[in-house]
Structure 1
Amino acid sequence: MLQKFFILCSGADIDLLSTCANGERNKYAGIGATVFFTAVMAFIASGYALYTVFDSLYAAVGFGLIWGLLIFNLDRYIVSTIKKRDGFKAEFVQAIPRILLAIIIAIVISKPLELKIFEKEINQVLLEDKNAMTLENKAQLALQYNPKIESLNQDIATLKNEIAEKENETNTLYDTYISEAEGTAGTKLLGKGPVYQEKREKHDAHLAELQQLKTTNAAKIKTIEAQITALDADYDRAVTQSQPIIDGFDGLMARIEALGKLPWLPSFFIFLLFLCIETAPIIAKLLAPKGEYDYKLEEEESVLATWVAQKVAQRKLLLTTDAEMNQKVYGQLKAEEELHQYKKQKAEELIRLQTDAFQNIHVKNL
């Protein structure tokens, strides 16, 4: 039962193969088993790849089953269409397109399994990429907010500088009127005279202006600091909102790119493994000697080709004979047409003679 199933997978003629020796049936059962298990691996590989994309077990199994059946049908077709010839060169030439197709199938099958085999290494590469993307994302967002924050900080610094300059002026006036009272500067008269009073009033006016400036600028600084706080909050919110996109950067394409950053040799050997598996049925048919099944199949094809050639030759002969007969028949009809024209001509001459005679009789009577 199992042998019949694998023979069915090989694409061989079961009825014809049943008339062959047991060794011949085992050979095609082995080829069919290779085709079947290649399709199974294609199902597993595509199922994993689609699960990575859709994150749904049912979708992965459904599409994986379709892909596995497609690969099974292609492999079965490839193996069944390779016919054993009298020379290896002719067999190899007809197998070249099938080998190229097998290479493409091997690449498609091996890539998802490589992603699964090197999953831990790929996760490490993705983690590093995500960290780099996070830093780059923060830097890009900072370019949107930092100029505004720096401008507002500059405004705060300007307001504070105004207060500092006013304080310096007020302190200078304070030192001036104190020195005047002590007699160490100005008029150098000890005591609080009119000059001292004038300088004291000037200092007090600047001091009042300083207090007013501090109050006004403090309110402005508070407003600007609130704007800076709002911008910082917007920046943090933008980083938080964009982070899930970066965290979700682990799809199929991202994993394939991460796999490309790993050493190529292990992946290449896995590809070679699947290439050997995929091309094994083709190579087996190319290397296997011409067996009993091949001779019987060639005999049936020869009988069919001979029968078809005979039918074609008969149809060509029938067409030629029919054309000759038609030519002969229409030739005869053409001769009869000429006789008809001759009879018609003579009848016309007779009618003319009768008409002339009738006219002559009437002329005489007149």
Structure 2
Amino acid sequence: MEAQKIKPFTVFLCRCSGACIVILEKCPTQVTKYSTMGTILLITAVMASLSGGYFFFTAFRQIYLAIAFGMFWGVVIFSLDRYLVTSMGVNQSKKFINVLPRVFLAICLGIVVAKPLELKLFEHEIKTELANIKNQLHGEMRSSNAEIAQMDSTTRRLENEKGRLHITLSEKKKELDNSETDYYNEIKGKNSTTTTGEIGIGPEAKRKNNIRIQTEKEYEKLKEKVTLREKEINDEMKDLHQKVKDRDKNLQGEAENYEGPLAEIEALSSLTSKKIILKLANIFLTLIFILIETAPVLVKLSQTKGLYEELLEAHEKENIKNIQGNSDFQDYEKKIEEKRKKSQYNGEVIYDEQIKNKIWRRKTEFDLEVIEKQYNNRLQKLENENLVQQLYEEIIKSLKTEELFDIKRQ
């Protein structure tokens, strides 16, 4: 049976799914499956590119860098998706322990791709919510200003208290000055309404001195109290002013800089917590992207072994066997070459050449027997499929022709 030619664009889609085109051309019924899988991978990569580019532009506002990052992100997602599909064989897909990490990774990729596109789809609602959040921050600033006004009222009250303390202190100072003047006039013997007119320290002078000393103590005590109270008031007012100033500065900075992808994600979270419709729409959109991302893996998980998989498995086993056989033959040929260099008789060399040719012919006959046995076993399972019968005869015929040609040439 001759291989059917596949259209170039279909070949591109099949290559996206990781299929071997040479084998797939001999299985025309399998082309649709792998081209569809490649289409899903390609669409996911394009959506990931748009998603990553928009997210980068939202963060940095650089259009060219956003385009470059979007292309890079699309290639990354495409490579990961293609790896998930190509690394999971049909037999391996039946093992749950091997499938689970791939499904989990596909779900994570779906969420990563979906989030930036969600921000774009709900852009209008997000901008409205961002404005509301900024207004709330400004409202907290106005509340802060009210606290400042209340603090100013408290400050004025404390200032009045300090003024009263200063007045009391001034009165006590005046009283101290009068007691000192009266005392010194008494000991100098000056005549006044408050002195006796006697010079020296008499009983009256001692009494007035005691009054002066007591008044001075009261003044110092009152002065210390006023100074301490003033310091407490000043420290308290300074702390209040600094706290309000720092809070106002922080709120102002938050209100002005409340933008970017993180702010939009927070706004979207706030919206979904308030409105059940938006929450359901957000969940539904995320599930769509997860379904798109996991679709190739789920298809690979649910598919059965077809003609393409049979031929691919046989091709891989044949390659492994040929590699092993060629390796053994090359090792023996190397030994012959080494022995030829050491050999002193041409007859021994000719004998070794004959042995080498016999081994090669035996290897060829053994390879043909193994291939015939393998395909006979498969044909017993697929005896009703004429397509496999024709393909088998063609492959066996071509292999025998090539091997016999090699033997005659030697």
TM-score by length of 2: 0.52
**Aligned AA (2:290):** L
Structure-2 separation of matches of 1:302 and 1:293: 14
Per-residue deviation at 1:19? 2.5
Q: Deviations over 1:187-242 (max 9, x none)?
A: xxxxxxxxxxxxxxxxxxxxxxxxxxxxxxxxxxxxxxxxxxxxx9xx99x96996
Aligned residue number for residue 346 of structure 1: none
- Matches of 1:279 and 1:272, distance apart in 2: 10
**Which residue does 2:22 correspond to in 1?**
15
Q: 1:141 to 1:61 in 2, by over 3 A?
A: farther
Partner of 2:115 in structure 1? 111
Q: CA deviation at 1:309?
A: 6.1
Contact 2:137 2:254 in 1 (8 A): no
For 2:93 and 2:56, the matched residues in 1 are separated by: 41
Shift of residue 121 of structure 1? 1.8
Q: How does 1:38-187 map to 2 (within 5 A)?
A: 38-85=44-91, 89-90=94-95, 92-140=96-144, 143=147, 147-148=151-152, 150-152=154-156, 155=159
Aligned to 1:246: 255
**Superposition deviation, residue 285 in structure 1:** 1.8
Which amino acid in the other structure matches residue 5 of structure 1?
F
Matched, 1:4 2:11: yes
Structure number with greater Rg is 1
Q: In structure 1, how many angstroms separate the alpha carbons of the residues matched to 2:159 and 2:143?
A: 24
Find the aligned partners of 2:94 and 2:33 in 1 and give their Cα distance: 22
Matched to 1:136, the amino acid is E
The answer to whether residue 39 in structure 2 is matched with residue 33 in structure 1 is yes
Partner Cα separation in structure 1 for residue 98 and residue 315 of structure 2 = 20
Alignment of 1:279-298 (within 5 A): 279-298=294-313
Aligned residues between the structures: 250
CA distance in 1, matches of 2:54, 2:150: 44
- Alpha-carbon shift at residue 129 of structure 1 (Å): 1.2
Per-residue deviation, 1:59: 1.6
Instruction: Kindly indicate whether structure 1 or structure 2 has the higher relative contact order, using CA contacts under 8 Å at least 6 residues apart.
Output: 1
Deviates more, 1:246-255 or 1:34-43: 246-255
- Is contact 2:17–2:86 with CA below 8 Å preserved after alignment? yes
DSSP-derived class of the 1:246 partner = helix
Name the amino acid aligned to 1:296.
L
In 2: Cα distance, 1:76 partner to 1:88 partner: 15
Look up the SS of the partner of 2:258 in the other structure. coil
Secondary structure at the aligned position of 1:112 is classed as helix
Deviation by residue 1:67-102 (Cα, 9 ceiling, x = unmatched): 0110011111111111112x8633x44322211110
1:106-132 alpha-carbon deviations (Å, 9 max, x no partner):
010001111111122222221221111
In angstroms, what is the RMSD of aligned CA positions? 3.8
> Structure 2 vs 1, CA of residues 156 and 55 (structure 1 numbering), >3 Å: closer, same or farther?
farther
Following TM superposition, by how much is the alpha carbon of 1:153 offset from its aligned partner in structure 2, in angstroms? 7.0
Q: Which residue is 1:182 aligned to?
A: none
Given that residues 44 and 293 in structure 2 are in contact (C-alpha distance below 8 angstroms), is that contact kept between their aligned partners in structure 1?
yes
Distance 2:20 2:149 in 1: 74
Farther-moved stretch of structure 1 (32-41 vs 238-247): 238-247
1:266 pairs with one of 277, 281, 292? 281
Between 1:294-303 and 1:116-125, the stretch displaced more is 116-125
Instruction: Report how far residue 60 of structure 1 moved.
Output: 1.2
Instruction: State the identity %.
Output: 34
Segments of 5+ residues of structure 1 without an aligned counterpart are 160-231, 318-366
Residue type at the aligned position of 1:57: I
The amino acid that maps onto 1:248 is N
Give the conservation status (yes or no) of the 8 Å contact 2:27–2:307. yes
Q: Secondary structure at the match of 1:290?
A: coil
Per the alignment, do residues 158 and 88 of structure 1 end up closer, same or farther by CA in structure 2, a change over 3 Å counting? closer
CA distance in 1, matches of 2:293, 2:284: 14
Q: Which residue of 2 aligns with 1:256?
A: 265
SS, match of residue 10 in structure 2 = helix
1:84, 1:277 → 2: CA distance? 20
Deviation of 1:14 (Å): 1.9
